[in-house]
Chain A
């Protein structure tokens, strides 16, 4: 029982990161219609930059800030320079462009930083709390707390600010939003920056738990995708729930795999993603937009 609770707690923590990545993917998909396979690279950029700067002796908050700014800047480059302005009816092209961008980002990180992982200290010192036999390290608390704050901030942004309304309006009907004076191009830029920041924050809070290297982007991006698809690409809240669920299921399943099969734990998240895609490929997309001729 204790081990189950421990798995759930650990899974919830990694799941929080998946939720942030998935939320970014879902927001981009809704506001711009672009399916971005580069989202995982922002997690890598955030986590790796943070860990690297921290190792060099920079104060953690400053390192985090630099990491987020860097990710946002790369997000701007992706949106402005890599993706074409007119995207309607060119899903395959935009998918491949985001794939190309993610390869380049990973490659540049490899050249600059190398293949070795880098280590970040937990945000605060202190020993793990033990609640009924379940170990909760301070970093777990940090991950969950920061994710919660970010999610609340996102919710406020989307429901309480003009920019948030404009983003939602663009997601619902880009043309009608345009007729209300909202620039889809500006919304696209904003949502790519927001998604980059979300990914970077996910990478930063995860860095002390899983030392980041230049190659983590693909797997984390896919897990973020799994989160978004499980929760329904049409709802931001769905991506969050999907991310937490994925984190927990992945950890619990890995924990209960018999010894001989422990090597399969890497495949659990992908198997889950595949299963969802095979069983309910359309049903999960709750707000499927009507394609225009």
Chain B
């Protein structure tokens, strides 16, 4: 039985990664053909999934709510822009430096913040994002309110990537690697500790587990992934401004992680697909509905999606689907034995 159980887990693992990779490979096919999607949506979807991926362990396991992911996303984006435009460094090196800076920033914030109750983190992360947003609009090195243009595009072995479809494959590859990394982290003892923390902080503490360093590491991981995504975004779009640091980006990322499933590594990609689709369809259909609200109407859909998922599917779309499948599989395998 135990062997069978282990096999089943392996089969589930292989199957879920198969579906995941298959889904990713379908994107270029669908997004270049199905109206109103564009391949740019596909690239953005994968980048947002990478940026939100770190929130899976951080929100789902450590039970923390960060509304400052955009601060790290923007840090990565600005680092790449500044280092390639002003210092002419290679975009790949800029990506690494940006990720390191974001990780350091998260670590330093975490040193002070995780001594306190959860809601302080939410507040502090919002504050950091807003402050950075004001600062980049003032400084010369960040290009002020106009932002920075002419970011060096990424090259692979000296060759230009060229085209959204090719960039998509690169970003999707990075998403896959990041997913495996986060998956391993979630599988570790580490994550079990986090789960205990989020279920009952007092209980975890009374078992001698100090939640602060664990939460801090999760926070740093989330920041690094967001910075990588931001950096990729800068190289892809060639342009960075303060909108990368906007609170709306943080909200978007939190919603992506929550809607997809806060405890599933595939949740970020699913959530990202949902959010990018919401944005795309809102842009396509809503101008007809409401003339004076501009393109901002989609935030109602965000908010409703967040509330409905939290109330009806607290484990997100992937979590809910997995539970449904398990129940289905359970009835199928259990019926013959009884």
Asked whether the complex places CB atoms of A and B closer than 8 A, the reply is yes
In the assembled complex, A141 has its CB within 8 A of some CB on chain B: no
Q: A110-B296, A110-B297 provided; 11 other pairs, C-beta below 8 A?
A: A89-B199, A96-B65, A99-B67, A100-B306, A102-B303, A104-B303, A108-B300, A110-B299, A115-B292, A222-B130, A271-B127
Restricting to A188-234, which residues have a CB under 8 Å from any CB of B? 218, 222, 225, 229
CA distance A92 to B198 in the complex (A): 9
23 contacts between A and B (CB under 8 A): A37-B122, A82-B307, A91-B119, A92-B59, A92-B64, A95-B122, A96-B258, A97-B307, A99-B65, A100-B302, A102-B303, A107-B297, A222-B123, A229-B120, A266-B134, A270-B127, A270-B134, A274-B128, A277-B120, A278-B112, A281-B113, A291-B201, A292-B202
> 1/0 per residue B279-291: CB within 8 Å of A?
0000000000010
Known: A96-B306, A218-B247, A292-B202. A111 touches B123 (CB 8 A): no
Q: Could you say which of B109, B138, B293, B306 contacts A115, with CB atoms under 8 Å apart? A: B293
Known: A291-B202, A292-B202. A264 touches B63 (CB 8 A): no
> 1/0 per residue A78-120: CB within 8 Å of B?
0000101000010111011101111110111011001100000
CA distance A247 to B120 in the complex (A): 21
- List A contacts of B65 (CB < 8 A): 92, 95-96, 99
Which residue in chain A gives the minimum CB-CB distance to B128? A274
Nearest CB in chain B: distance from A103 CB, A: 3
- List A contacts of B64 (CB < 8 A): 92
Which residue in chain B gives the minimum CB-CB distance to A265? B134
> 1/0 per residue B67-90: CB within 8 Å of A?
100000000000000000000000
- List B contacts of A185 (CB < 8 A): none
Q: Is the CB of A95 within 8 A of B119?
A: yes
Q: Is the CB of B137 within 8 A of A263?
A: yes
- List B contacts of A111 (CB < 8 A): 290, 293, 297, 300
In the assembled complex, A53 has its CB within 8 A of some CB on chain B: no
Q: Is the CB of A103 within 8 A of B302?
A: yes
In the assembled complex, B159 has its CB within 8 A of some CB on chain A: no
Known: A99-B67, A114-B293, A293-B203. A277 touches B122 (CB 8 A): no
Known: A89-B200, A97-B310, A114-B292. A281 touches B299 (CB 8 A): no
In the assembled complex, B115 has its CB within 8 A of some CB on chain A: yes
> 1/0 per residue B233-247: CB within 8 Å of A?
000000000000001
- List B contacts of A156 (CB < 8 A): none
- List B contacts of A82 (CB < 8 A): 307, 311
Restricting to A116-174, which residues have a CB under 8 Å from any CB of B? none
Q: Is the CB of A91 within 8 A of B63?
A: yes
Q: Is the CB of A103 within 8 A of B300?
A: yes
CA distance A91 to B63 in the complex (A): 8
In the assembled complex, A3 has its CB within 8 A of some CB on chain B: no
Nearest CB in chain A: distance from B7 CB, A: 35
Q: Is the CB of B296 within 8 A of A107?
A: yes
- List A contacts of B299 (CB < 8 A): 103-104, 106-107, 110
> 1/0 per residue B293-315: CB within 8 Å of A?
11011011011101100110010
Q: Is the CB of A277 within 8 A of B131?
A: no
- List B contacts of A107 (CB < 8 A): 296-297, 299-300, 302-303
> 1/0 per residue A259-281: CB within 8 Å of B?
00101101100110110011101
In the assembled complex, B156 has its CB within 8 A of some CB on chain A: no
Q: Could you say which of B112, B130, B254, B302 contacts A277, with CB atoms under 8 Å apart? A: B112
- List A contacts of B201 (CB < 8 A): 291
User: Chain A, interface size: which category?
Assistant: 35 or more
Known: A107-B296, A114-B293, A222-B123. A93 touches B314 (CB 8 A): yes
In the assembled complex, A9 has its CB within 8 A of some CB on chain B: no
CA distance A225 to B130 in the complex (A): 14
CA distance A166 to B126 in the complex (A): 34
- List B contacts of A103 (CB < 8 A): 251, 299-300, 302-303, 306
In the assembled complex, B188 has its CB within 8 A of some CB on chain A: no
Known: A104-B303, A273-B123, A274-B127. A99 touches B251 (CB 8 A): yes
Q: Is the CB of B311 within 8 A of A277?
A: no
- List B contacts of A278 (CB < 8 A): 109, 112-113, 124
Interface centre among A115, A266, A281 (most CB of B within 10 A): A281
In the assembled complex, B116 has its CB within 8 A of some CB on chain A: yes
Which residue in chain B gives the minimum CB-CB distance to A277? B124
Q: Is the CB of B293 within 8 A of A92?
A: no
Which residue in chain B gives the minimum CB-CB distance to A102? B303
Q: Could you say which of B116, B303, B314 contacts A281, with CB atoms under 8 Å apart? A: B116
CA distance A108 to B298 in the complex (A): 10
- List A contacts of B181 (CB < 8 A): none
CA distance A270 to B130 in the complex (A): 7
Which residue in chain A gives the minimum CB-CB distance to B64? A92
CA distance A115 to B134 in the complex (A): 21
- List A contacts of B247 (CB < 8 A): 218
- List B contacts of A293 (CB < 8 A): 200, 202-203, 206
Restricting to A177-191, which residues have a CB under 8 Å from any CB of B? none
Known: A91-B118, A115-B293. A100 touches B303 (CB 8 A): yes
Which residue in chain A gives the minimum CB-CB distance to B257? A96
In the assembled complex, A2 has its CB within 8 A of some CB on chain B: no
- List B contacts of A286 (CB < 8 A): none
CA distance A92 to B120 in the complex (A): 11
Q: Is the CB of A264 within 8 A of B135?
A: yes
Q: Is the CB of B113 within 8 A of A277?
A: yes
